């Protein structure tokens, strides 16, 4: 399937964003560990969260297929390790190529019973739930924050709690802090005790009613649309000004690209106004999911950039750095990769290709490139359905903002 996108002359819209996938998935795990009987309201309707809901309902002995949901694979591997029963957890072919050995090794060190069923270090896994008594573990701070969050969330269920030491540089600290905040919301005692050490007490979670806020990473595409438009006013309800989501930093980043953010209660309104920077250098170590959006935006605004802290992009749904280089070349922009963690553009151009944008089974590739239609004619996206992973109504919301979307053969 392929679509062609045509923009409106100006943007004036109110968009109900999807609920935060990051908060939904963490709340579901915590709720299950605490045997919660209060409802979780406004859960995300994205693929990843629906996979998580189904997996948490699985009976002992069932095989759990999390498809392409990397967050679910990591969180559930830890959850099943402390939950009575015997399960096999698997996923798509791509998921079976995504490493999980660091998390499995950490869980085994704590006492988990986990077996690889195919290739060492990769799913599928057989997990036998057990009581884990060891209370201290050390991990490199530059591993995926989802490994760290997975260990933290099960820690109140461990016999003696957990002290987690992180060595070296810590990446994606906001995601760790988001996990800690949600744990505290449900009654856990979890905190940083030193710059590189976290401690969680062995104390059961408390059941409570909980409302999931809207997704700041989904908001980033509307910031992008505002920045690339000649005139735009976009209202986004459900975003908290004091959000624990690391991606709320998008408001600060896009201020330098001419987008003003106005907070009123739990609603954000975006206006296209203000000065635009002549260059943008930024370290995405704490907001890696915003990188694709900013790469496309800056290039199309003719703003040279150097974006660092991108090492985790290589192990996402696809190698996002390689995908960005390839697809931006189709639009006529030559990006440079260096040190395995930096993407830069210094204004170098090439002839634009007539090919459609490929999405690599990656929701963020589709959503980051779609707004290019505001600057370039004939923007076509292959396999647009990939957006269901995090933002199922993305195309419908574009149509609500009067973009024209046509399917092609």
Which residues are annotated as catalytic? Answer: 289
What does DSSP assign to residue 355?
P
| Dihedral class, residue 135 (left if φ above 0, else alpha if ψ from -120 to 50, else beta) | alpha
- Rounded to whole angstroms, the Cα distance separating 231 from 272 reads 6
Contacting residues for 301 by C-beta, under 8 A, at least 6 apart: 227, 228, 257, 276, 375
Q: Which residue has the tokens 């072919």?
A: 93
- The CA-based dihedral angle spanning residues 32, 36, 41, 43, taken in that order and rounded to the nearest 10 degrees: 0
SS3 label, residue 70: helix
| 321-324, long-range: CB < 8 A, 24+ apart | 323/358, 323/360, 323/362, 323/365, 324/292, 324/295, 324/296, 324/365
SS3 label, residue 347: coil
Residue 399, Cβ neighbours under 10 Å: how many? 13
Q: What is the sign, positive or negative, of the torsion defined by CA atoms of 258, 173, 239, 22?
A: positive
Contacting residues for 408 by C-beta, under 8 A, at least 6 apart: 2, 3, 4, 380
Report the candidate in 95, 83, 207, 92 with the shortest Cα–Cα distance to residue 150. 83
């Amino acid at each position: 399937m392929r679509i062609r996108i045509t923009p409106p002359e100006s943007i004036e819209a109110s968009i109900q964003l999807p609920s935060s996938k990051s908060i939904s998935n963490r709340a579901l795990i915590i709720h299950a560990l605490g045997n919660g009987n209060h409802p979780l309201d406004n859960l995300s309707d994205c693929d990843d969260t629906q996979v998580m809901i189904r997996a948490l309902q699985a009976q002992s002995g069932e095989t759990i297929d999390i498809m392409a949901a990397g967050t679910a694979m990591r969180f559930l591997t830890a959850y099943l390790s402390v939950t009575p029963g015997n399960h096999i957890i698997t996923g798509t072919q791509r998921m079976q190529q995504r490493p999980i050995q660091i998390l499995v090794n950490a869980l085994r060190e704590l006492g988990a019973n986990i077996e690889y069923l195919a290739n060492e270090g990769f799913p599928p896994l057989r997990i036998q739930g057990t009581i884990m008594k060891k209370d201290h573990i050390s991990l490199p701070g530059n591993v995926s924050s989802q490994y760290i969050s997975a260990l933290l969330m099960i820690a109140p269920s461990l016999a003696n709690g957990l002290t987690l030491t992180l060595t070296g540089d810590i990446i994606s600290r906001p995601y760790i802090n988001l996990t800690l905040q949600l744990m505290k919301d449900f009654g856990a005692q979890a905190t940083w005790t030193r710059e590189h050490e976290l401690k969680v007490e062995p104390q059961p979670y408390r059941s409570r009613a909980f409302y999931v806020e809207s997704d700041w990473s989904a908001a980033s595409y509307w910031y992008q649309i505002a920045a690339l438009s000649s005139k735009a006013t976009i209202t986004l309800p459900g975003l908290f000004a004091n959000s624990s989501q690391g991606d709320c930093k998008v408001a600060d980043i896009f201020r330098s690209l001419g987008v003003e953010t106005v907070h009123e209660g739990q609603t954000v309104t975006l206006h296209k106004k203000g000065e635009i920077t002549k260059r943008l250098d930024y370290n995405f170590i704490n907001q890696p999911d915003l990188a694709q959006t900013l790469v496309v935006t800056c290039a199309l605004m003719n703003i040279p950039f150097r974006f660092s802290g991108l090492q985790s992009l290589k192990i996402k749904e696809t190698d996002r750095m390689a995908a960005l280089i390839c697809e931006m070349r189709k639009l006529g922009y030559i990006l440079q990769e260096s040190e395995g963690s930096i993407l830069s553009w210094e204004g170098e151009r090439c002839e634009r290709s007539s090919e459609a944008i490929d999405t690599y089974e990656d929701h963020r590739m589709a959503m980051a490139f779609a707004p290019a239609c505001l600057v370039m004619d004939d923007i076509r996206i292959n396999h647009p359905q990939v957006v269901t992973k995090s933002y199922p109504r993305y195309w419908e919301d574009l149509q609500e903002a009067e973009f024209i979307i046509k399917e092609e053969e």
